[in-house]
Amino acid sequence: MADIKDTILTVRGLKVDFSTPDGTVEAVKGIDLDVHARETLAVVGESGSGKSQTMMGIMGLLAKNGTVAGSARYRGQELIGLPPKALNEVRGSKITMIFQEPMTSLDPLYTIGRQIAEPIVHHRGGTFKQARKRVLELLELVGLPEPARRIDSYPHELSGGQRQRVMIAMALANEPDILIADEPTTALDVTIQAQILDLLKSLQQRFGMAIVLITHDLGIVKHFADRVAVMRRGEVVEQGRTTEIFERPKAHYTKMLLAAEPSGRKAPPPGHAPIILEGRDVAVDYVIGGGLFGVSSSAFRAVDGVNLRLRQGQTIGIVGESGSGKSTLGRALLRLLPSSGYYRFGTTNISGFDRSAMRPLRRELQLVFQDPYGSLSPRLTVGEIITEGLYVHEPKLSRAERDRRAITALKEVGLDPASRNRYPHEFSGGQRQRIAIARAIILKPKVVILDEPTSALDRSVQGQVIELLRDLQSKHGLSYIFISHDLSVVKAMSDYVIVMKNGRIVEEGETDAIFEAPREPYTKTLIGAAFNV
């Protein structure tokens, strides 16, 4: 396999630097990589490990403040320092790329047909009209439904998965030697992820190209890659065949990464545990359109007749793909948006409660969001952020007492209490999520709704946050509703699982039963896609 003649891309001593106002940042610190013909090489690492910037450097796509040095030879031709004209002969023809963001990687102002034709016309000559036949073939090849009609669609008229198929069609247009796939499925739903990866694999067999897969998802690597290079902080810490890396990891970091897959289970609460939060026939409608001279408005039912009972100390996992209504359900249960149905908190019927009636209950019903970057005010210190709720719910608390509570809460989530005078931007994603959790638990809530709390985090950090959430639960007897599209996390966190699709419950049951013996075909697809990519 590692025959020297087979090596089509040789990277030696590659360095990428970014000059920032705070000085030079070394994103890639002189790495070596080889890509062999027809193989799949996975470059694995957490965000900030330099895996994407390595490829951007080779392809001449760095941001303006970035510089690349070292060597990257494609079939003997040095790419680093190549003048733009010569580099453009290779880019989009011999080496092509697909990106993480299928939503923004295509120009919104041109039809997909024209965008796929562009590299064909540019590299092979001819007119857009002549290229159209080839574009149709390509769309057929990547399995876009109704290609003859869709060829004149604009990107916003397609779903995320369909756009990624369009990107793949574009990448294949000139039958490349190497396809660089930069987190190609990260932004997609799990069932779509599996389809896209299957497509890439079958196209690879058909066209015999090499694939460089950049990803943070070890599940994908295991099933998809021939070889793996593990990157950390701009360096390659380990490189080898996939089976070897997974069975006998040598580097300490690789071992940690492999161990970081969330593990463990949660035991269900005792049968006599009281019901703490209940929703019956929960329904939420969103109104679309309307206005003075606009078209008549229409309603979209986001949640449709859902029943849910949360017991004290229980964790209910709600899984489903984007648009399934799982986040909306969480907000409806907290009475944060207009909804119909019957709601009960403890022994209180809260169905008819308005904002002011809910206010005294808010401290006991807390919410933690997905995005630890967007949900913390950048202009408040961490101490101010986590004690804000105390001003509302315990206004008589003295300043010293508030400070003491902040210290306790920060200690509980594993953060240095001295950091309470710092601002959110000084913290990593995982630390920010800990701050968000501290903000919730400082009020000593009974129920916490966790809306994708680990989705924006790297795997190894995910494991630590899950650990923390489980500890806090057993210590304070909390009840969780855990909303996630990530089934491995749900499996480790919850004792009861609800599967949602199009606003309805498809299947529900004890975690083990759902994962070991799913009944509904949709649940089977979801589990199959998540665990055997």
Q: 85 vs 379, which CB is nearer to other proteins?
A: 85
Shortest Å, Cβ 90 to other proteins: 7
Q: 102 vs 317, which CB is nearer to other proteins?
A: 102
CB contact at 8 A, 266 and 471: no
Q: 93 vs 328, which CB is nearer to other proteins?
A: 93
Residue 132 structure tokens: 């159209």
Shortest Å, Cβ 101 to other proteins: 5
CA distance 497 to 215: 28
CA distance 422 to 425: 9
Shortest Å, Cβ 58 to other proteins: 11
CA distance 58 to 79: 7
Shortest Å, Cβ 60 to other proteins: 8
Q: 65 vs 130, which CB is nearer to other proteins?
A: 65
Shortest Å, Cβ 518 to other proteins: 37
Dihedral (Cα; 90, 2, 223, 199), 10-degree rounding: 30
CA angle 230, 234, 236 (to 5 degrees): 30
Residues with Cβ within 8 Å of 517's Cβ and at least 6 positions away in sequence, in order, are none
Shortest Å, Cβ 295 to other proteins: 10
Shortest Å, Cβ 174 to other proteins: 9
- Report the run of H or E that residue 449 belongs to, with start and end: strand 447-451
Q: 93 vs 462, which CB is nearer to other proteins?
A: 93
CB atoms within 10 A of CB 256: 14
Which candidate, 501, 480, 504, places its Cα nearest to that of 490? Answer: 480
Q: CA quadruple 235, 238, 240, 246: dihedral positive or negative?
A: negative
Q: 211 vs 506, which CB is nearer to other proteins?
A: 211
**Interface with other proteins by CB under 8 A: which residues?**
59-61, 63-64, 84-85, 87-93, 96-97, 99, 101, 104-110, 118-119, 122-123, 154, 156, 167, 170, 292-293
For residue 478, how far is the Cα from the chain centroid? 26
- DSSP sequence for 201-213: HHHHHHH--EEEE
- The residues that bridge with 479 in the sheet, in sequence order, are 447
Shortest Å, Cβ 91 to other proteins: 4
- DSSP annotation of 114: H
Q: CA dist 317 to 277, 482, 511, Å?
A: 14, 5, 8
Shortest Å, Cβ 169 to other proteins: 12
Segment 412-417 long-range contacts (CB within 8 Å, at least 24 positions apart): 412/438, 412/441, 412/472, 412/475, 413/437, 413/438, 413/441, 413/468, 413/472, 414/464, 414/468
Q: 97 vs 194, which CB is nearer to other proteins?
A: 97
Q: 163 vs 485, which CB is nearer to other proteins?
A: 163
Q: 120 vs 230, which CB is nearer to other proteins?
A: 120
Q: 167 vs 506, which CB is nearer to other proteins?
A: 167
Three-state secondary-structure class, residue 377: coil
Q: 27 vs 435, which CB is nearer to other proteins?
A: 27
Q: How many helices (H) and strands (E) does the chain have?
A: 19, 20
- DSSP sequence for 478-525: -EEEEEES-HHHHHHH-SEEEEEETTEEEEEEEHHHHHHS--SHHHHH
Shortest Å, Cβ 471 to other proteins: 39
Shortest Å, Cβ 139 to other proteins: 17
Residues with Cβ within 8 Å of 122's Cβ and at least 6 positions away in sequence, in order, are 92
